[in-house]
Structure 1
Amino acid sequence: MLLRRVSQHVKTQNWFAVAIDFFIVIAGILIAFQITSWNEARKDSKRELQIIDRLQSEFTMLENETEEYIEFVESTKPIIAEFEQQIINYPEDANLELMKRFFETAFSLPRPAGQSDTYQQLIASGDMNVLDNQTLLAELVNHASLTDYFLHVNQATREWSRSYVVPLVRLRSLLNVLPLEEAVSSSGTKADLIVAINLYKEVFEDQLNILKAHKESFAELNKMLIDEKHEKNL
């Protein structure tokens, strides 16, 4: 219909009408492009908000998990000190139940929390550009690097210290099958056990410091995600 009208106007050399027709066509195309652009922007914004929401949910869970680890580690510090005194004073006041209590609770190092599944999916799919806040993007990358570092340090520390805490590992196994005196004497010298427990205490404190630093990183990132989500919802 419009094309026929343009042809008629050209034949009659009504150039003003031709100009108006072309203006209508161009305006229509621009409006169509704008509507498409708005729809795409709305979809992108909705998707970005969904990703931010998932990230915030996962990082909150990981932060809470790390907080639980910290509480567990803090709660077992007195048990480690109690066990250390048992070894130092042995055989005086030796207490089988107190020694077993150490191995059942405090002889366990929780690992740092891992990466967010949503973040890993964004990296794998190359969709990090969905997030338009560059500061948030930088913080996500920094946190991921920090997490990788903590996991690496944790694994390296475990491997390095494994051979040094052999007397403790041996004692843990023997306490369940031998009398206390025989279990202790078969685990190594008293000096070996004291060295092992002191090394374990240092590793334990290092692990606690890692967990606390990790929790701070989680808290900072979660604050940024909550602020970003609030801003997107305005």
Structure 2
Amino acid sequence: MLLRRLSQHVKSQNWFAVALDFVIVVLGVFIGLQISNWNDARAFDQLERNYLVQLKDEVALNRRVTEYQIVYVDTVVESGKRALVYLESDQQCEDDCADLLVDFFHASQVWGAPRTLTIFEEMERLGLPRDAERRQTLLDLYRFLEGWDVVNLSPPAYRESARGYFSPEVSEALWRNCMRYPDGDVEELVRDCVDDLRAMDTSAVLEDMRASPDLANHLRFWIGQNVTAQVLLPDALGYSDSAQAAIDEALAQ
């Protein structure tokens, strides 16, 4: 309709009408583009908000995993220290042999936690969040989480050495009742196997372990690795809290 009218105005050489029609066409295209851009921006705003809602849950889950890891490495370190005292002494274990053997077992554990990075990685691919300061706060947390398990990519030598002294019966008791998976994901170190171990000759196992020329050195190294975790892991809690605050601030807008 508009193009037909424009053609008629050209034929009649009504240049004012031609100019007016041209302005109307350009203005219509401009308004159409603006509406399209506004709709796209609004849709992208909603997309970012939806991702932030999901990311809030992901950050909370990773924080819970970090809290678990802190308890876990504390158990590994304290167990390792008690085991090392025995290895460096010439005293018999006497009536605490079963408890001490559990220490050797717990000290050999390698933390492994199912951290989730999926939502953040997808947001990063999309360039979200768009706020630079908020994005940096999230990067601080996820860069820490991504690099953390490099400390334990390979099981320590102590793990293989110590467990080589466990008989099948001892191993069964240790694995059955001295660790558990309360929610199917995280692993907890407990001592419910002690009574089963007391029915076995654990003192002989411990004496054989103390006679090893390398076990104490392997244990010292592994304790040191876990002490690193004790020192650094609490930083992740601070990063997590900052990330949660940044997300809450964005969602409140």
TM-score, normalized by length of structure 2? 0.71
Q: What SS is found at the alignment partner of 1:109?
A: coil
Q: Is the 8 A contact 2:80 2:106 kept in 1?
A: no
Q: Does 1:111 align with 2:112?
A: yes
Q: Is the 8 A contact 1:6 1:21 kept in 2?
A: yes
The offset of 1:99, in angstroms, is 2.0
194 and 12 in structure 1: CA distance in 2 versus 1, 3 angstrom threshold = closer
Q: Is the 8 A contact 1:66 1:113 kept in 2?
A: no
Q: Structure 1 CA distance, aligned partners of 2:13 and 2:205?
A: 111
The offset of 1:67, in angstroms, is 1.0
Aligned match of 1:154? 152
Aligned match of 1:229? 251
In structure 1, list runs of 5 or more residues that go unmatched: none
Q: Is the 8 A contact 1:70 1:208 kept in 2?
A: yes
Aligned match of 2:5? 5
Aligned match of 2:170? 176
Q: Structure 2 CA distance, aligned partners of 1:103 and 1:189?
A: 14
The offset of 1:2, in angstroms, is 1.9
Q: Is the 8 A contact 1:168 1:196 kept in 2?
A: no
Q: Is the 8 A contact 1:55 1:119 kept in 2?
A: yes
What whole-Å deviation, never above 9, does each CA across 1:86-127 have from its counterpart, x for those lacking one? 55363153423312432564542323664511233456xxx3
Deviates further, 12-21 or 193-202: 193-202
Q: Structure 1 CA distance, aligned partners of 2:223 and 2:43?
A: 53
Q: Does 1:27 align with 2:12?
A: no
TM-score, normalized by length of structure 1? 0.76
Amino acid in the other structure paired with 1:204? N
Q: Is the 8 A contact 1:115 1:147 kept in 2?
A: no
Amino acid in the other structure paired with 2:25? V
Q: Is the 8 A contact 1:109 1:204 kept in 2?
A: no
Q: Is the 8 A contact 1:70 1:212 kept in 2?
A: yes
Aligned match of 1:45? 45
Aligned-pair identity in percent equals: 21
Q: Structure 2 CA distance, aligned partners of 1:196 and 1:8?
A: 94
Q: Is the 8 A contact 1:66 1:214 kept in 2?
A: yes
Amino acid in the other structure paired with 1:49? R
What whole-Å deviation, never above 9, does each CA across 1:186-208 have from its counterpart, x for those lacking one? 32417755444444432221222
What whole-Å deviation, never above 9, does each CA across 1:187-230 have from its counterpart, x for those lacking one? 24177554444444322212222322333333333322222232
Q: Structure 1 CA distance, aligned partners of 2:166 and 2:231?
A: 26
Q: Is the 8 A contact 1:174 1:183 kept in 2?
A: no
RMSD of aligned alpha carbons: 3.2
The offset of 1:83, in angstroms, is 4.2
What whole-Å deviation, never above 9, does each CA across 1:113-172 have from its counterpart, x for those lacking one? 64511233456xxx33243122333444444433333222222xx55xx23455532344
Deviates further, 204-213 or 173-182: 173-182
The offset of 1:30, in angstroms, is 1.1
In structure 2, list runs of 5 or more residues that go unmatched: 172-199
Q: Structure 2 CA distance, aligned partners of 1:190 and 1:7?
A: 100
Aligned match of 1:93? 94
Q: Structure 2 CA distance, aligned partners of 1:7 and 1:212?
A: 75
Matched residues, number: 224
Q: Structure 1 CA distance, aligned partners of 2:240 and 2:3?
A: 62
Q: What SS is found at the alignment partner of 1:108?
A: coil
Aligned match of 1:215? 237
Aligned match of 1:163 in 137, 153, 157? 157
Deviates further, 20-29 or 113-122: 113-122
Q: Is the 8 A contact 2:55 2:119 kept in 1?
A: yes
Q: Structure 2 CA distance, aligned partners of 1:199 and 1:11?
A: 93
The offset of 1:37, in angstroms, is 0.7
